[in-house]
Amino acid sequence: MILRLLSAALAAGFLAAIVATGLQLALTSPLIIEAERYEAREPTRAAQALPIILAHSGHDHAAPDAAPEWQPAPGFQRMAFTGLATLVGGVGYALLLGAVLMALGREPTLQTGLAFALAGFASVALAPALGLPPELPGQEAAPILARQVWWAMTAVGTAMGLYLIGVRRSLIAILGGLVLIVAPHVVGAPQPPAGTSELPATLAAQFAARSLAISAVFWAMIGLGFGWAWQSFTPAKGARHA
């Protein structure tokens, strides 16, 4: 069972990474490069580039007198690191998806894999993006710890809320699920400090929209890939009785 889970997760993560990396390089990487030109004009401004796939955690740039952070060079090196990070995230999320399906006693199929994967997308990408949309370098950002705490609260609350609504389905569970989903947004995401940025609003809006679209495709490919791989790696009858 463990070997089957690992094999299905590797296959699903690899498939999702190929598709998502191609979309990132075509749709969001040009926007990041364009935003970095604006960021270079403001060397003292704190900035972040939220990962599209893994989480909205980001990082804060170092102070002007600190040593510059290492970054992959443009071109092949950046493409390779983008693909590697997406692959690691894809396999990790596929493992989590498989563990959830096993814990709930659901047979991984194309249908169940896709349904639970979309719930994962809603939990770790869509819901947090309502308060902390994916950001480009050069955009104002709240302190990273505050953003991480709010993101974790939103992701966990949304996942638990969807579980209560979609699995438990009693009236009390549905009401409790709605409360868990809405509560982080009532509290509100941490807001960036007041300031100005030369980054065009249209560029930031395009990046946020494209990032969420790619994340949705990424999660869908994880769900479909895991369901397909799980069924494909079904042990032979003789092996089951061995």
Q: Which of 83-87, 103-107, 138-142 has the lowest mean pLDDT?
A: 138-142
Domain boundaries, the chain: 2-54+72-141+192-240
CB 185 within 8 A of CB 204: no
Q: In this predicted model, what pLDDT tens digit does every residue of 186-240 receive, in sequence order?
A: 999 998 887 666 788 899 999 999 999 999 999 999 999 999 999 998 775 545 5
Average pLDDT rounded to a whole number, residues 59-81: 61
Each residue of 15-31: pLDDT tens digit? 999 999 999 999 999 99
Average pLDDT, the chain: 86
29-32: Cβ within 8 A, 24+ apart: 29/78, 29/82, 31/136, 31/203, 31/206, 31/207, 31/210, 32/136, 32/137, 32/207
**For position 71, what pLDDT does the model report?**
67
pLDDT tens for each residue of 88-128: 999 999 999 999 999 999 999 999 999 999 999 999 999 99
Predicted local distance difference test score (pLDDT) of residue 128: 97
Environment class of 169 (CB within 10 Å of its CB; exposed 0-12, middle 13-18, buried 19+) = exposed
